[in-house]
Structure formats: C-alpha cells, structure tokens
Amino acid sequence: MALDDASAEFHDFFERHHAELARLAHLLTGEADTADDLAADAFVALWHRWDRVQRADHPVAYARGVVTNMARARIRALIRERRRIHLFWSALPGRAQHPDVDAVMDVRRALARLPFRKRACVVLRHALDLSEKDTALALGTSVGTVKSQTSKAMAELQRLLGAQAAEELTGTRN
C-alpha cells in the first residue's frame, strides 16, 4: 500500500474515531486536558503501528486498548508522584502542625501559572533543595538555563504572591 493510501485511511480513521477516543480518555482520567493529550498521543502511536492496526480484526477496539493503556499509565504515574510527594513532605522534620491552608493554595495556584520548565526549576531547587547542577541533570538542560529559568520564575512568583510570600516560599531574601 502506498503511503498516500495509508495516510488517507489513517485520516479517515482519525476523523471517525477521534471524538470517541478522547471521550474515553476523559472518562478514564476525569481530566479534559489530559484526555486531549492522551487521544493525540494514542493517534501518534496508532500511526506508528498503522500496518498492525489495519490488520487487526477490530481496529477501533485496538485503538481503545491503546487509549486505555495510556490512561492507566498516566493514572499510575500520578499515583506514584503523589506517593513520592507525600513521603517527601511527611519526612521533613520541621513540618508545620497547622499549615496555613490558604497560603498553600495560593502557592499552588501561583506555581500552576508558571510554564512547566520554570515551575520545575523552582520546585527542584527550592522544594527539593537540589543544586543547580542536579536540577540541570534532572531536566536535561544546562546550568545556565536552570539559573535563568529559576530567576524568571521567582520574579513571576514575586509578582503573583508578593515579595514577602515568595521569600518565605524559598527561604531567600532579595
């Protein structure tokens, strides 16, 4: 089969089944944005295995299986991440008995507004207390990028939270 024929068949398959597979991902994860990402990732995987999908007895069932497996992997990864975060915070010796829930929520909202790389730099540097070098290794980037992204992220957090709150968050003084 020529690439153009395969491409046309895949496009037709995508048009007929994208909405259903995105809906399936949404129902499995409960997150609309994640569902769109999972459906897109599933279609990329399906395209890479398009010859196998075409030969399947039930191509749509095959596609549903891909989405289901990706959703399962996503949920498991989130569970592992939450466990690691819980273990990290529960192991801290100076843990507050009565944390300021409003402040915690403000910080979480402010961090969520940062682009991923900036948020990752701040969290790795200040919450996990990694060095710039270890942060760069974890993110697969240079130390200079970590420095600039952390600096820009801190400026953004200061704008969002106020200077004093940002200093308390990171334990730094400007």
CATH of the domain at 145: 1.10.10.10
Distance CA 55, CA 9 (A): 13
Question: Among 55, 73, 91, where does a domain finish?
Answer: 91
Q: State whether 78 and 54 are in the same domain.
A: yes
Question: Among 91, 112, 128, where does a domain finish?
Answer: 91
Rounded to 5 degrees, φ, ψ at 142 are -90, 160
Q: State whether 166 and 128 are in the same domain.
A: yes
pLDDT at 67: 93
Q: Report yes or no on 96 lying in a domain.
A: no
Cα atoms in the Cβ-side hemisphere of radius 13 Å centred on 28: 25
Taking alpha carbons only, the member of 52, 162, 21, 48 closest to residue 103 is: 162
Q: State whether 87 and 12 are in the same domain.
A: yes
Q: State whether 66 and 134 are in the same domain.
A: no
Task: Report the chain's terminal Cα–Cα distance, integer Å.
Answer: 64
CA 86 to chain centre: 18
Q: State whether 79 and 136 are in the same domain.
A: no
Q: State whether 136 and 117 are in the same domain.
A: yes
Contact 113, 155 (CB under 8 A): no
Rounded to 5 degrees, φ, ψ at 114 are -80, 145
Q: State whether 82 and 120 are in the same domain.
A: no
Q: What are the structure tokens assigned to 114, written together? A: 């940062």
Q: Report yes or no on 131 lying in a domain.
A: yes
Domain residue limits at 74: 3-91
Q: State whether 20 and 84 are in the same domain.
A: yes
Q: State whether 32 and 86 are in the same domain.
A: yes
Q: State whether 85 and 11 are in the same domain.
A: yes
Question: Among 60, 91, 122, where does a domain finish?
Answer: 91
Distance CA 104, CA 119 (A): 15
Could you list the pLDDT tens digit for every one of the 174 residues in the chain? 566 888 999 999 999 999 999 999 999 888 888 899 999 999 999 999 999 999 999 999 899 999 999 999 988 888 888 888 877 777 666 555 556 667 677 778 888 888 888 988 888 888 888 889 988 888 888 999 999 999 999 898 888 887 666 566 555 554
Q: State whether 107 and 83 are in the same domain.
A: no
Break the chain down into helix, strand, coil percent, rounded to 5.
80, 0, 20
Taking alpha carbons only, the member of 41, 46, 62 closest to residue 11 is: 46
For the chain, how many structural domains are there in total? 2
Q: What are the structure tokens assigned to 64, written together? A: 């549903």
The pTM score is 0.51
Q: Report yes or no on 118 lying in a domain.
A: yes
Distance CA 152, CA 74 (A): 30
